[in-house]
Amino acid sequence: MLNDADLERYARQVIMPDVGEDGQERLLAARMLVVGAGGLGSPVIFYLAAAGVGHITIMDDETVELTNLNRQILHITASIGTPKVARAAAAAAALNPGIEITPRRERLDVDNVDELLSSHDLVIDCSDNVATRYLLGDAAWRTGTPLVFGGAVRSEGQLSLFHTGTPDSPCFRCVFPDMPDAQQAPGCSEAGILGPVTGVIGALQALEAVNWVLGTGGKQTGRLLLFDARGGGFMEISTSRRNDCNTCGGQSV
Protein backbone atom coordinates (compact mmCIF):
# COMPACT_ATOMS: atom_id res chain seq x y z
CA MET A 1 0.00 0.00 0.00
CA LEU A 2 1.25 3.46 -0.87
CA ASN A 3 1.33 5.92 2.02
CA ASP A 4 0.21 9.56 1.75
CA ALA A 5 3.72 10.83 1.08
CA ASP A 6 4.16 8.29 -1.74
CA LEU A 7 0.80 9.24 -3.26
CA GLU A 8 1.88 12.87 -3.30
CA ARG A 9 5.45 12.30 -4.51
CA TYR A 10 4.37 10.07 -7.37
CA ALA A 11 1.02 11.81 -8.03
CA ARG A 12 1.83 12.88 -11.58
CA GLN A 13 2.56 9.32 -12.70
CA VAL A 14 0.11 7.43 -10.47
CA ILE A 15 -2.69 9.41 -12.13
CA MET A 16 -1.76 7.84 -15.47
CA PRO A 17 -3.77 4.72 -16.41
CA ASP A 18 -0.51 2.99 -17.43
CA VAL A 19 0.85 3.40 -13.89
CA GLY A 20 -1.83 3.68 -11.19
CA GLU A 21 -1.17 2.58 -7.60
CA ASP A 22 -0.45 -0.98 -8.75
CA GLY A 23 2.24 0.18 -11.14
CA GLN A 24 3.80 2.42 -8.51
CA GLU A 25 3.92 -0.47 -6.07
CA ARG A 26 5.65 -2.58 -8.70
CA LEU A 27 8.22 0.19 -9.26
CA LEU A 28 8.85 0.44 -5.51
CA ALA A 29 9.37 -3.32 -5.35
CA ALA A 30 11.70 -3.43 -8.38
CA ARG A 31 15.42 -4.20 -8.07
CA MET A 32 17.57 -2.64 -10.76
CA LEU A 33 21.32 -2.82 -11.35
CA VAL A 34 22.96 0.19 -13.02
CA VAL A 35 26.45 -0.60 -14.33
CA GLY A 36 28.32 2.69 -14.60
CA ALA A 37 27.70 6.03 -12.85
CA GLY A 38 28.96 8.24 -15.67
CA GLY A 39 27.39 9.94 -18.69
CA LEU A 40 24.58 7.40 -19.23
CA GLY A 41 24.34 6.39 -15.58
CA SER A 42 23.68 9.99 -14.52
CA PRO A 43 20.26 10.43 -16.16
CA VAL A 44 19.42 6.77 -15.60
CA ILE A 45 20.04 6.97 -11.84
CA PHE A 46 18.27 10.32 -11.47
CA TYR A 47 15.16 9.18 -13.35
CA LEU A 48 14.95 5.76 -11.68
CA ALA A 49 15.25 7.38 -8.25
CA ALA A 50 12.69 10.06 -9.15
CA ALA A 51 10.25 7.45 -10.48
CA GLY A 52 10.49 5.50 -7.22
CA VAL A 53 12.33 2.39 -8.34
CA GLY A 54 12.66 0.97 -4.86
CA HIS A 55 16.03 -0.79 -4.98
CA ILE A 56 18.85 0.56 -7.11
CA THR A 57 22.35 -0.91 -7.07
CA ILE A 58 25.00 1.35 -8.59
CA MET A 59 28.32 -0.19 -9.71
CA ASP A 60 31.39 1.82 -10.64
CA ASP A 61 35.00 1.62 -9.52
CA GLU A 62 36.18 5.02 -10.78
CA THR A 63 36.63 8.40 -9.17
CA VAL A 64 35.24 11.66 -10.53
CA GLU A 65 37.56 13.57 -12.88
CA LEU A 66 37.26 17.10 -14.21
CA THR A 67 36.90 15.78 -17.79
CA ASN A 68 33.75 13.87 -16.73
CA LEU A 69 31.80 16.98 -15.93
CA ASN A 70 30.70 18.00 -19.45
CA ARG A 71 28.17 15.15 -19.30
CA GLN A 72 28.17 13.24 -16.01
CA ILE A 73 25.57 15.45 -14.35
CA LEU A 74 25.36 13.38 -11.16
CA HIS A 75 28.76 14.73 -10.21
CA ILE A 76 29.92 18.19 -9.20
CA THR A 77 33.23 20.01 -9.15
CA ALA A 78 33.59 19.44 -5.42
CA SER A 79 33.39 15.66 -5.92
CA ILE A 80 36.49 15.46 -8.12
CA GLY A 81 38.77 12.73 -6.77
CA THR A 82 36.01 10.99 -4.81
CA PRO A 83 34.32 7.69 -5.78
CA LYS A 84 31.60 8.06 -8.40
CA VAL A 85 29.32 5.64 -6.57
CA ALA A 86 29.47 7.72 -3.38
CA ARG A 87 28.35 10.88 -5.11
CA ALA A 88 25.78 9.01 -7.22
CA ALA A 89 24.24 7.36 -4.17
CA ALA A 90 24.16 10.64 -2.25
CA ALA A 91 22.50 12.49 -5.15
CA ALA A 92 19.88 9.76 -5.63
CA ALA A 93 19.15 9.59 -1.89
CA ALA A 94 18.82 13.38 -1.71
CA LEU A 95 16.30 13.27 -4.54
CA ASN A 96 14.33 10.40 -3.05
CA PRO A 97 15.06 9.29 0.53
CA GLY A 98 12.29 6.70 0.38
CA ILE A 99 14.18 4.20 -1.77
CA GLU A 100 17.13 1.89 -1.13
CA ILE A 101 20.36 2.76 -2.94
CA THR A 102 23.27 0.31 -2.79
CA PRO A 103 26.60 1.71 -4.03
CA ARG A 104 29.21 -0.89 -5.01
CA ARG A 105 32.65 0.49 -5.75
CA GLU A 106 33.87 -2.41 -7.84
CA ARG A 107 34.12 -3.59 -11.39
CA LEU A 108 31.85 -6.14 -12.98
CA ASP A 109 33.86 -9.32 -13.61
CA VAL A 110 33.39 -13.02 -14.36
CA ASP A 111 33.26 -13.83 -10.66
CA ASN A 112 30.45 -11.46 -9.65
CA VAL A 113 28.38 -10.90 -12.80
CA ASP A 114 26.01 -13.90 -12.61
CA GLU A 115 25.23 -13.41 -8.92
CA LEU A 116 24.64 -9.69 -9.45
CA LEU A 117 22.31 -10.18 -12.39
CA SER A 118 20.39 -13.01 -10.73
CA SER A 119 19.67 -10.84 -7.71
CA HIS A 120 18.13 -8.00 -9.77
CA ASP A 121 15.01 -7.82 -11.95
CA LEU A 122 16.72 -5.85 -14.69
CA VAL A 123 20.17 -4.50 -15.57
CA ILE A 124 21.01 -1.25 -17.34
CA ASP A 125 24.30 -1.08 -19.19
CA CYS A 126 25.77 2.39 -18.70
CA SER A 127 29.36 1.19 -18.98
CA ASP A 128 32.04 2.77 -21.09
CA ASN A 129 34.05 -0.19 -22.37
CA VAL A 130 33.43 -3.12 -24.69
CA ALA A 131 34.78 -5.80 -22.32
CA THR A 132 32.10 -4.97 -19.74
CA ARG A 133 29.42 -4.80 -22.41
CA TYR A 134 30.18 -8.33 -23.69
CA LEU A 135 30.49 -9.73 -20.17
CA LEU A 136 27.12 -8.21 -19.33
CA GLY A 137 25.52 -9.28 -22.60
CA ASP A 138 26.53 -12.92 -22.19
CA ALA A 139 25.56 -13.03 -18.50
CA ALA A 140 22.18 -11.42 -19.19
CA TRP A 141 21.39 -14.23 -21.62
CA ARG A 142 22.65 -16.95 -19.18
CA THR A 143 20.63 -15.61 -16.26
CA GLY A 144 17.58 -14.53 -18.29
CA THR A 145 17.89 -10.98 -16.95
CA PRO A 146 16.46 -8.20 -19.16
CA LEU A 147 19.32 -5.96 -20.34
CA VAL A 148 18.73 -2.34 -21.33
CA PHE A 149 21.67 -1.52 -23.57
CA GLY A 150 22.71 2.05 -24.34
CA GLY A 151 25.77 3.56 -25.92
CA ALA A 152 26.88 7.07 -26.85
CA VAL A 153 29.98 8.48 -28.49
CA ARG A 154 30.65 11.80 -30.26
CA SER A 155 27.16 12.85 -31.42
CA GLU A 156 25.63 9.40 -31.87
CA GLY A 157 23.79 6.98 -29.63
CA GLN A 158 22.23 3.51 -29.60
CA LEU A 159 19.58 1.78 -27.54
CA SER A 160 18.11 -1.72 -27.36
CA LEU A 161 16.52 -4.16 -24.94
CA PHE A 162 17.74 -7.75 -24.84
CA HIS A 163 15.65 -10.36 -23.08
CA THR A 164 16.05 -14.04 -23.70
CA GLY A 165 12.60 -14.73 -22.26
CA THR A 166 10.88 -12.67 -24.95
CA PRO A 167 10.16 -14.82 -28.02
CA ASP A 168 12.62 -14.13 -30.83
CA SER A 169 14.56 -11.50 -28.89
CA PRO A 170 18.21 -11.71 -29.92
CA CYS A 171 20.94 -11.71 -27.30
CA PHE A 172 23.58 -8.97 -27.23
CA ARG A 173 26.06 -11.06 -29.21
CA CYS A 174 23.50 -11.89 -31.92
CA VAL A 175 23.54 -8.17 -32.73
CA PHE A 176 27.19 -7.45 -31.92
CA PRO A 177 28.94 -10.77 -32.74
CA ASP A 178 32.55 -9.62 -32.60
CA MET A 179 34.11 -7.64 -29.82
CA PRO A 180 35.59 -4.57 -31.55
CA ASP A 181 39.06 -3.34 -30.65
CA ALA A 182 39.79 0.17 -29.40
CA GLN A 183 40.31 1.44 -32.95
CA GLN A 184 36.96 0.15 -34.20
CA ALA A 185 35.05 1.37 -31.17
CA PRO A 186 36.85 4.33 -29.64
CA GLY A 187 35.64 5.47 -26.22
CA CYS A 188 34.68 8.97 -25.18
CA SER A 189 38.24 9.77 -24.12
CA GLU A 190 39.53 9.18 -27.65
CA ALA A 191 36.56 10.15 -29.80
CA GLY A 192 34.79 12.75 -27.65
CA ILE A 193 31.18 13.05 -26.58
CA LEU A 194 28.56 15.78 -26.46
CA GLY A 195 26.91 15.74 -23.03
CA PRO A 196 23.29 16.02 -24.18
CA VAL A 197 23.73 12.90 -26.34
CA THR A 198 24.32 10.82 -23.22
CA GLY A 199 21.32 12.62 -21.73
CA VAL A 200 19.06 11.53 -24.61
CA ILE A 201 20.19 7.90 -24.54
CA GLY A 202 20.26 7.68 -20.73
CA ALA A 203 16.73 9.08 -20.48
CA LEU A 204 15.55 6.50 -23.01
CA GLN A 205 17.25 3.72 -21.03
CA ALA A 206 15.46 4.84 -17.85
CA LEU A 207 12.18 4.98 -19.76
CA GLU A 208 12.70 1.47 -21.12
CA ALA A 209 13.42 0.18 -17.60
CA VAL A 210 10.34 1.84 -16.11
CA ASN A 211 8.18 0.61 -18.99
CA TRP A 212 9.46 -2.90 -18.44
CA VAL A 213 8.26 -2.91 -14.84
CA LEU A 214 4.91 -1.38 -15.77
CA GLY A 215 4.33 -3.99 -18.45
CA THR A 216 4.21 -1.32 -21.11
CA GLY A 217 7.76 -2.10 -22.23
CA GLY A 218 9.53 -4.72 -24.25
CA LYS A 219 8.97 -2.71 -27.41
CA GLN A 220 12.67 -2.27 -27.91
CA THR A 221 13.43 -5.98 -28.15
CA GLY A 222 14.30 -7.03 -31.68
CA ARG A 223 15.13 -3.44 -32.57
CA LEU A 224 18.19 -1.26 -32.37
CA LEU A 225 17.43 2.44 -32.07
CA LEU A 226 20.07 4.72 -33.56
CA PHE A 227 20.30 8.42 -32.73
CA ASP A 228 22.26 10.98 -34.73
CA ALA A 229 22.47 14.37 -33.07
CA ARG A 230 23.86 16.01 -36.21
CA GLY A 231 20.46 16.25 -37.86
CA GLY A 232 19.78 12.60 -38.56
CA GLY A 233 17.36 12.17 -35.67
CA PHE A 234 16.19 8.66 -34.77
CA MET A 235 16.29 5.56 -36.93
CA GLU A 236 15.45 1.94 -36.08
CA ILE A 237 16.81 -1.26 -37.51
CA SER A 238 15.36 -4.72 -36.89
CA THR A 239 17.51 -7.31 -35.15
CA SER A 240 16.99 -11.04 -34.83
CA ARG A 241 18.35 -14.20 -33.23
CA ARG A 242 21.13 -15.90 -35.09
CA ASN A 243 21.58 -19.65 -35.06
CA ASP A 244 25.35 -19.19 -35.43
CA CYS A 245 25.55 -16.91 -32.38
CA ASN A 246 28.41 -17.98 -30.09
CA THR A 247 26.44 -17.11 -26.97
CA CYS A 248 22.87 -18.28 -27.52
CA GLY A 249 23.01 -20.38 -30.70
CA GLY A 250 19.59 -18.96 -31.50
CA GLN A 251 18.08 -20.43 -28.31
CA SER A 252 16.43 -19.12 -25.15
CA VAL A 253 17.89 -20.25 -21.84
Q: What residues are labeled active site? A: 188
Angle at 44 between CA 131 and CA 27, to 5 degrees: 115
Q: Are 30 and 122 in contact (CB under 8 A)?
A: yes
Taking the complex as a whole, how short is the minimal distance between the CB of residue 121 and Zn ion, in angstroms? 21
98-106, 156-164, 195-203, 239-247 -> range binding Zn ion (CB under 5 A): 239-247
Taking the complex as a whole, how short is the minimal distance between the CB of residue 180 and Zn ion, in angstroms? 17
- Number of residues located near Zn ion, criterion CB under 5 A: 6
Q: Which of residues 153-192 bind Zn ion (CB under 5 A)?
A: 171, 173-174
Taking the complex as a whole, how short is the minimal distance between the CB of residue 146 and Zn ion, in angstroms? 15
DSSP 2-33: --HHHHHHTHHHHTSTTTHHHHHHHHHH-EEE
| CB nearer to Zn ion: pick between 82 and 240 | 240
| CB nearer to Zn ion: pick between 161 and 245 | 245
- Half-sphere CA count of 63, side-chain side, radius 13 A: 6
| CB nearer to Zn ion: pick between 84 and 241 | 241
Based on the shown chain and the rule CB under 5 A, indicate whether residue 49 belongs to the binding site for Zn ion: no
Taking the complex as a whole, how short is the minimal distance between the CB of residue 141 and Zn ion, in angstroms? 7
Q: At what angle do helices 41-51 and 84-95 cross, to 10 degrees?
A: 30
Annotate each residue in 187-226 with x if it binds Zn ion (CB under 5 A) or - if it does not, as one string: ----------------------------------------
Dist CA 233 CA 174 (whole Å): 25
Q: Which of 92, 123, 214, 248 binds Zn ion (CB under 5 A)?
A: 248
| CB nearer to Zn ion: pick between 163 and 173 | 173
Q: Please state the separation of Cα 213 from the chain's center in Å.
A: 14
- Smallest CA-to-CA distance from 107 within 44, 35, 57 is with 35
CA distances, 118 to each of 31, 76, 113, 125, 149 (Å):
10, 33, 9, 15, 17
| CB nearer to Zn ion: pick between 216 and 252 | 252
Taking the complex as a whole, how short is the minimal distance between the CB of residue 165 and Zn ion, in angstroms? 14
Binding footprint of Zn ion on the chain (CB under 5 A): 171, 173-174, 245, 247-248
